[in-house]
């Protein structure tokens, strides 16, 4: 039986023959290495049913047929013997149906089971009519032989399994593995794993196959026939060498033809070679001369190599010396770096202390500002008290005048005088007390002034200057004579009382941008009176805030101070060199370029003569951006912006590069 005779039930058998290979067209004799590569030989077919003598093997314990062919109902065949089981009986007793049942389970086609189609396999008799299906179940198990007796074996645990197949009237069938429906591929996989060769099917020999093998010819006459040789080669597996041998024969024939062609060409070339013997000898002489020249060149090169080696040795010696020097320099650099790190740490420590002192200074400034505000308030109080004192003195004078004039009421005048004297005494005491407070404040500020002088140096005001300016702003300076102190006509000052002055001052302190109109409406006084109080009595003046670049932090101020100190040290060390290193730059938009200066264009003229005129080079010139750099000796570089050029970072980088090149040339 050949491979391919078994297929799942339900597929129709197809007789397909092999195609006869066509003769290849004749190709020119050309040697191509890719056509003569290694020849692949198919892998040998491994034996499926190979068992170890003492290992487990598969056996059939029994076959259960149900309505299969001549077996009506359920018929159990077995149990079978472990080595050999013979089924005997008269003709027509169903011996062949045992093999047919096995073929049915193993997936053979109906024509191999002596039937035309699957439905014919269902039992049909007078007693059992209208049977719709038939089934065959083959029971397998693995055993290990323990002796030669029939019962001398051991069953491998969990090795029993049942393969069954059921056929139906509609010529369809289904497989079952241990009672579960399965595909034929799953069943075939299990059987192959147990050593049943379903590919070549040589584990079953049917009726007539022995006689057919015995009647085979020694060798097949054509490719489509099978002889004994082909049968044995198929069993042995030597037929896998057939295709490689044919390929080798074709290659040998092709190479023989190619050799004959090359040999003919070699014989034709031998005659030409004899004529070229003379030129060959001349070429050999030329090559000998070339070799002599190459030897001489080699000597020159060897000499040059020796000289280069000597130079290299000297250079290596110098390199080693420089390496040692570099090592020393690196050690020295490491020491310098270590010293630098130490100095940096000390500098950071000093910087922290400086920041701490700077913060203390800022706090002192804030305290000083608070004290100044308190001092100013005290001065205002003193000023008000002085004004009151002056008023009281004037009142006293008036009262004395009235006493002189009103002698009729002396007692009343004396009482008033005594009261005024008491008030004067209390005010004098208050003034003395305020002066003592002022003195105490000024004494307390002496230490702060000393600390500020230590920080700011000569820029700090001395105590004398502070006292002088304090007296000046309080109006106590006897030399201070201004129009503000003079008497002027108009509404008397006494019309502005102290209460209004105090309220106006409080409103201005609360809001420095308050309007005079709002103050007048709030206090129910005239706007002119508010203006008089603000400018004359309180001494305020309204000014706009000054724009500054930005508000510097304490760190920024410290950094700027450090940079200025470094620049001053550089100037102190070498002032001329420092000044020469300063380059100033500026930009300006100009209308035109005038090659003549004003001094050069001056000329004499009479008094009545018209003034001379100087015309522009271009009638209406556009503005051009002029960039100029100069140092202490004069102009270093001048550059005009070309028309259509965008002013961006790239343009400034280009200008600075041009300036750098100019500095190198200078």
Q: For residues 560 and 536, state if they share a domain.
A: no
Is 637 contained in some domain? yes
pLDDT-wise least confident of 206-210, 419-423, 505-509: 206-210
pLDDT of residue 492 exceeding 60: no
pLDDT of residue 481 exceeding 50: no
Q: For residues 562 and 654, state if they share a domain.
A: no
- Report the pLDDT averaged over residues 590-599: 64
Quick one: which of 201, 192, 149 has its CA closest to 58? 192
**Two tokens at 279?**
């030129």
Q: What is the pLDDT of residue 605?
A: 66
Domain residue limits at 627 = 583-595+616-666
pLDDT of residue 64 exceeding 80: yes
**42 or 147: which carries more pLDDT confidence?**
147
Domain boundary among 215, 250, 276: 215
13 contacts: CB under 8 Å, gap ≥ 6: 7, 109, 111
Percent of the chain with pLDDT over 90: 15
Q: Can you tell me the distance from the alpha carbon of 147 to that of 82, in angstroms, rounded to the nearest whole number?
A: 11
631 contacts: CB under 8 Å, gap ≥ 6: 580, 582, 583, 584
Q: For residues 93 and 60, state if they share a domain.
A: yes
Is 291 contained in some domain? no
Q: What is the pLDDT of residue 1?
A: 39
pLDDT of residue 517 exceeding 50: yes
**123 or 5: which carries more pLDDT confidence?**
123
Is 166 contained in some domain? yes
Task: Output the CA torsion 428→431→432→434 (10° steps).
Answer: 160
pLDDT category at 544 given cuts 50, 70, 90 is confident
Beta-strand (E) ranges in 361-505?
none
pLDDT of residue 205 exceeding 70: yes
pLDDT-wise least confident of 121-125, 190-194, 344-348, 611-615: 611-615
pLDDT category at 19 given cuts 50, 70, 90 is very low
Q: For residues 539 and 523, state if they share a domain.
A: yes
Q: What is the pLDDT of residue 165?
A: 94
* Tens-digit pLDDT profile for residues 297-352: 999 999 999 999 999 999 999 999 999 989 999 999 899 989 888 888 988 888 88
pLDDT category at 12 given cuts 50, 70, 90 is very low
Is 8 contained in some domain? no
**144 or 395: which carries more pLDDT confidence?**
144
- With a threshold of 0.75, does the pTM exceed it? no
In the block, residue with structure tokens 């001398």:
152
Q: Are 104 and 88 in contact (CB under 8 A)?
A: no
Is 655 contained in some domain? yes
Q: Can you tell me the distance from the alpha carbon of 592 to that of 83, in angstroms, rounded to the nearest whole number?
A: 126
Looking at mean pLDDT, say which of 81-85, 397-401, 490-494, 619-623 comes out highest.
Answer: 81-85
Is 503 contained in some domain? yes
Q: Can you tell me the distance from the alpha carbon of 623 to that of 637, in angstroms, rounded to the nearest whole number?
A: 20
Cα-Cα-Cα-Cα dihedral sign, residues 167, 168, 169, 172: negative
Q: For residues 165 and 206, state if they share a domain.
A: yes
Is 350 contained in some domain? no
- Report the pLDDT averaged over residues 255-274: 86
pLDDT-wise least confident of 59-73, 497-511, 646-660: 497-511
Percent of the chain with pLDDT over 70: 79
Backbone angles phi, psi at 500, to 5 degrees: -65, -40
Q: What is the pLDDT of residue 452?
A: 72
Q: What is the pLDDT of residue 316?
A: 92
Quick one: which of 239, 187, 189 has its CA closest to 2? 239
DSSP per position, 283-297: HHHHHHHHHHHHHHH
pLDDT category at 621 given cuts 50, 70, 90 is low
Q: What is the pLDDT of residue 597?
A: 65
580 contacts: CB under 8 Å, gap ≥ 6: 631, 632, 633
* Tens-digit pLDDT profile for residues 470-480: 666 665 555 54
Q: For residues 127 and 208, state if they share a domain.
A: yes
Q: For residues 529 and 627, state if they share a domain.
A: no
- Report the pLDDT averaged over residues 179-207: 83
Q: For residues 589 and 653, state if they share a domain.
A: yes
Q: For residues 644 and 503, state if they share a domain.
A: no
Quick one: which of 178, 190, 184, 195 has its CA closest to 143? 195
The DSSP bridge pattern shows strands 624-631 and 584-590 to be antiparallel
Q: For residues 528 and 559, state if they share a domain.
A: no
Q: For residues 501 and 640, state if they share a domain.
A: no
pLDDT of residue 161 exceeding 60: yes
Average pLDDT, the chain: 79
CATH number at residue 149: 3.40.50.300
Quick one: which of 196, 179, 226 has its CA closest to 60? 196
Q: Can you tell me the distance from the alpha carbon of 76 to that of 98, in angstroms, rounded to the nearest whole number?
A: 11
Distance of CA 256 to the CA centre of its chain: 67
Q: Is 10 left (phi over 0), alpha (psi -120 to 50) or beta?
A: left
Number of structural domains, the chain?
4
* Tens-digit pLDDT profile for residues 81-112: 888 888 888 887 888 888 888 888 888 777 77
Q: What is the pLDDT of residue 483?
A: 47
| Residues paired with 589 in a beta bridge | 625
In the block, residue with structure tokens 């049943």:
196
Is 270 contained in some domain? no
**80 or 415: which carries more pLDDT confidence?**
80
Q: What is the pLDDT of residue 406?
A: 61
**206 or 648: which carries more pLDDT confidence?**
648
Q: What is the pLDDT of residue 33?
A: 58
Q: For residues 64 and 175, state if they share a domain.
A: yes
């Amino acid at each position: 039986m050949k491979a391919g005779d078994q297929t799942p039930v339900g597929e129709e058998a197809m007789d397909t023959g092999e195609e006869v290979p066509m003769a290849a067209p004749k190709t020119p004799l050309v040697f191509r290495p890719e056509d003569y590569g290694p020849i692949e030989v198919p892998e040998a077919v491994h034996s499926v049913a190979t068992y170890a003598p003492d290992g487990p093997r598969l056996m059939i314990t029994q076959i259960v047929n149900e309505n299969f062919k001549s077996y009506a109902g359920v018929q159990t065949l077995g149990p079978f013997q472990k080595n050999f089981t013979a089924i005997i009986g008269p003709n027509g007793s169903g011996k062949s149906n045992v093999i047919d049942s096995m073929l049915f389970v193993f997936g053979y086609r109906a024509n191999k089971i002596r039937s035309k189609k699957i439905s014919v396999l269902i039992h049909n008799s007078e007693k059992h009519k209208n049977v719709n299906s038939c089934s065959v179940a083959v029971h397998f198990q693995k055993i290990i032989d323990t002796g030669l007796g029939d019962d001398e074996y051991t069953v491998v645990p969990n090795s029993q399994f049942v393969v069954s197949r059921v056929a139906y009237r509609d010529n369809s069938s289904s497989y079952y593995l241990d009672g579960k429906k399965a595909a034929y591929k799953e069943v075939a996989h299990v059987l192959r794993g147990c050593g049943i060769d379903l590919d070549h099917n040589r584990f079953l020999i049917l009726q007539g196959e022995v006689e057919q093998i015995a009647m085979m010819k020694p060798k097949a006459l054509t490719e489509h026939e099978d002889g004994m040789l082909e049968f044995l080669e198929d069993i042995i597996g030597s037929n896998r060498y057939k295709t490689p041998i044919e390929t080798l024969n074709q290659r040998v024939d092709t190479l023989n033809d190619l050799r004959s062609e090359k040999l003919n060409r070699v014989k034709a070339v031998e005659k030409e070679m004899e004529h070229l013997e003379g030129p060959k000898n001349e070429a050999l002489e030329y090559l000998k001369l070339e070799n002599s020249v190459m030897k001489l060149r080699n000597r020159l090169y060897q000499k040059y190599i020796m000289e280069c080696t000597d130079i290299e040795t000297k250079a290596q010696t110098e390199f080693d010396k420089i390496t040692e020097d570099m090592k020393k320099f690196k050690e020295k650099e490491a020491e310098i770096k270590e010293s630098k790190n130490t100095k940096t740490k000390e500098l950071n420590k000093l910087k922290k202390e400086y920041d701490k002192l700077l913060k203390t200074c800022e706090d002192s400034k804030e305290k000083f500002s608070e004290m100044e505000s308190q001092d100013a308030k005290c001065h205002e109080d003193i000023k008000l008290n002085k004004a009151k004192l002056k008023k009281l003195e004037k009142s006293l004078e008036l009262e004395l005048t009235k006493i002189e004039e009103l002698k009729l009421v002396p007692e009343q005048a004396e009482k008033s005088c005594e009261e005024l004297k008491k008030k004067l005494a209390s005010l004098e005491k208050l003034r003395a007390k305020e002066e003592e407070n002022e003195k105490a404040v000024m004494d307390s500020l002496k230490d702060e002034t000393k600390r500020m002088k230590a920080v700011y140096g000569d820029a700090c005001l001395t105590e004398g200057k502070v006292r002088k300016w304090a007296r000046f702003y309080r109006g106590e300076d006897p030399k201070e004579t201004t129009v503000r102190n003079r008497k002027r006509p108009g509404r008397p000052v006494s019309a502005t009382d102290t209460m209004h002055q105090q309220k106006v001052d409080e409103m201005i302190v609360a809001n420095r941008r308050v309007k005079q109109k709002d103050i007048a409406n709030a206090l129910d006084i005239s706007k002119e009176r508010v203006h008089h109080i603000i400018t004359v009595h309180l001494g305020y003046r309204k000014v706009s805030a000054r724009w500054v670049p930005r508000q510097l932090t304490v760190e920024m101020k410290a950094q700027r101070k450090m940079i200025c100190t470094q620049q001053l040290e550089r100037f102190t060390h070498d002032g001329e060199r420092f000044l020469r290193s300063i380059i100033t730059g500026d930009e300006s938009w100009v209308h035109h370029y005038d090659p003549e200066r004003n001094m050069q264009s001056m000329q004499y003229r009479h008094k009545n003569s018209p003034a001379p005129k100087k015309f522009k080079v271009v009638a209406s010139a556009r503005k051009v951006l002029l960039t100029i750099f100069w140092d202490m000796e004069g102009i270093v570089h001048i550059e005009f912006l070309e028309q259509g050029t965008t002013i961006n970072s790239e343009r400034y980088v280009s200008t600075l590069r041009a300036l750098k090149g100019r500095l190198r040339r200078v």
